[in-house]
Structure 1
Amino acid sequence: MLVTYSEASRDLFETDSILFGAALAVCRIIGATLSKAGRATGQSSAIPAWRIRIEERIARARALIGRLICFRSGNTRPRIVRTVRMAFAGTNVSLSQPDITQKLTERIDDVKQRIAAWGKRIRRYTERSTRFNQNRLFQSDQKRLNKSLERPIVSGTGASPNQADTVAFWRSLWSEPVNHNEGPWTEVVVSQCTGITPMDPVTITPDDVAEAVRRSPNWKSPELDGLHHYWLKGFVVCHAVLADSIKRLSIRSRSRASSLLGSLTWFLKITIPQTRANTAPSRVYPLYIRH
């Protein structure tokens, strides 16, 4: 059935719909559970046991510092006094001696240094783990790494940029015609390129499609069509149809390619201020998202 319907498809959109329907039919036949909300993209963030123990020590140490400061300020409640005595257990320090304030200050500084040492150990582990994950992600998915390194967009409550001024500023740069002075270097480049032999037309074969699909992750998040690469690997009979559809997007059929590319691609323009404080039109940058 897939062969019959695929050969009758007129363009890439019909082929994509047929493949999606075939994947859905297979899932229903084998009784697979279909998730309507989509697959979860986040990974489980398991915290090591040693880090949990250190964080608990830091929490207890901070509570101890708070009670020592309360006792130094004159708070003599039974719970505070009991905690202070436990803090000086095993030492020759008495709570009634004259220099108890100095002893309390020294004890507080000692606990603070321990907290700093524990926190530094956690930071070293976090930095090392981050470097390791980034190096591994650089080898497997550079696009995802670059996306993770981008600064998050912080939505502020300040004044928003003026839309009319922003549109007028960027329209003056993009919409108004400008006569550029090309200079003599363009003629040199043209003369150097006259002897270049044009590249032979690229022919897309079913083997090329199969090789491209083979290197793709099986269950990576799909695009708007909702079709995972797993099905393209399984439906081998569609490779010839996909190769034929891709040929229509080649440079040799410009009229057909332009119509298909126009349908396959859409742009979304979003204006993003450089920072929350900069609302000037020259600091509001338009971002184009192409699909």
Structure 2
Amino acid sequence: MHRLFAELEPSLTVTEQNLADRVRYILRSNIFDVAELERLRREAVPSSDENATAEDAAPQIVEQPANVDTAVNTSVVVDSNDDGTVGQELELEHMRSTLEEAIMETRSTPLENRPLLPRIALSKRNRAVVRALNPMLVTYLEARWDLCETDSILFGAALAVCHIIGAKVSTAGRATGQSSAIPAWRRIIEERIAKARALIGRLICFRSGNNRPRIMRTVRMAFVGANVSLSQPDITQKLTERIDDLKQRIAAWAKRIRRHTERSTRFNQNRLFQSDQKRLYESLERPMVSGTGPAPNQADTVAFWRGLWSEPVNHSEGP
């Protein structure tokens, strides 16, 4: 096609990729109908016996698939004389456009924001899609010597396969999909501590005379199953015991977190000591604390330290 275009328009300089992109845009945007495209093709290419025979035998496309998934699952409606070649070409064209879009999307997306690709089943249809896309990668890979660029191309091809077969791709990205550094058990304990502290605060408010409905509802929930009535004469003592019990639980939970943190710190320090002692000693050094105020006067400094070290002091020695 590029050689034919160079013969027809020698004054225009376009690359093969640019020409293919323009043709693909015209075919996908439906600017011209089938009859108009055929007329333009006949005007551009001089007709000969072979061309006329090929044009007469060429099938007429009636309907083009709406998306790539439809192109794979649904056959294209063509003339009754069609043998399926046009449908296959259209499917490959849609696959190629999907591959280009996926590669461009991958190149413009940071590595940490790439979507998580699902594991696809090895069905006949999925294998056929992969076998159809493999030859298309040669154009992108043959001129790429950078490993990062090769990785982007291969990831874009995998993403295109997921789009074509209709697999669900997580759009949240790898950064949001990763779990936080805080383990689940610690988050659960911290939530328990927060709820216990909130309950202690409301119990103290009720003990000090606050009888709002929300406070009363929380206090009743705190004594569920304990056979304690808020109208008992010793309710103040019950409240104090409940508050002390909650404080002891908070202390036990906090000690569990502190014990795990110390153990984790020792483990990391021991492992760092085996691999890089310099980094370990640098991490153990305390940061220098510098004053933000004005520098002290030299005479005042000398007088201060002379009063500590130069003047004799009589100490009372014990037995």
What range describes the TM-score normalised by the shorter chain of this pair?
Answer: 0.3 to 0.5
Q: What is the TM-score normalised by the length of structure 2?
A: 0.38
Considering Cα pairs closer than 8 Å and 6+ residues apart, tell me whether 1 or 2 has the greater RCO. 1
Which structure has the larger Rg over C-alpha atoms?
A: 2
Q: What is the TM-score normalised by the length of structure 1?
A: 0.41
Structure with higher strand content: 1
